[in-house]
Amino acid sequence: MTVIDQHHINVAVKTNYIAAQSEPKENRFVFSYTITIQNTGSVAAKLLTRHWIITDANGKVQEVVGDGVVGHQPHLKPGEGFEYTSGAVIETPLGTMHGSYQMIADDGTRFDAPIPIFRLAQPNILH
């Protein structure tokens, strides 16, 4: 018997270093990230909250928890997606982010959609 994952959200990320807003001499490195959330399950679901863990190269951790994303709580039918851009400021030219979205499916099931770890990196910082 094959079990189909009814509740599945795919998360893709693209990052960008924003030199114009960064001040390396002041340990301020600004990044934008564009997230694409895709409902690849078989049941519609609404994004309720987000939980981010942002870590810089010194091991400093920032946690961000809040409702929705950029003022939205998108409701995604199977096959639908939602894209948004936001930003993060860290004290080193290299860091990581990961976390999860807390979702509720139309069938009442609450579940977490993991956001895989991704790198924030000033260009040419890594060889």
Number of domains observed in the structure of the chain: 1
Mean pLDDT is lowest, of 1-5, 34-38, 67-71, 89-93, for 1-5
Write down the pTM of the prediction. Answer: 0.90
- Whether residue 4 is predicted with pLDDT greater than 60 in this model: the reply is no
- Give φ, ψ of 25 to 5 degrees: -65, -20
Task: Look at residue 41 and tell me if it is in a domain.
Answer: yes
Task: Look at residue 42 and tell me if it is in a domain.
Answer: yes
**Strand blocks (E) in the chain:** 9-17, 29-39, 45-56, 61-67, 75-76, 81-90, 94-105, 110-121
For residue 102, give both structure tokens: 């807390």
Q: Which domain holds residue 88?
A: 9-121
Task: Look at residue 72 and tell me if it is in a domain.
Answer: yes
Domain with residue 30: its CATH number is 2.60.40.1470
Greatest alpha-carbon span in the chain: 59
Task: Look at residue 36 and tell me if it is in a domain.
Answer: yes
Task: Look at residue 2 and tell me if it is in a domain.
Answer: no
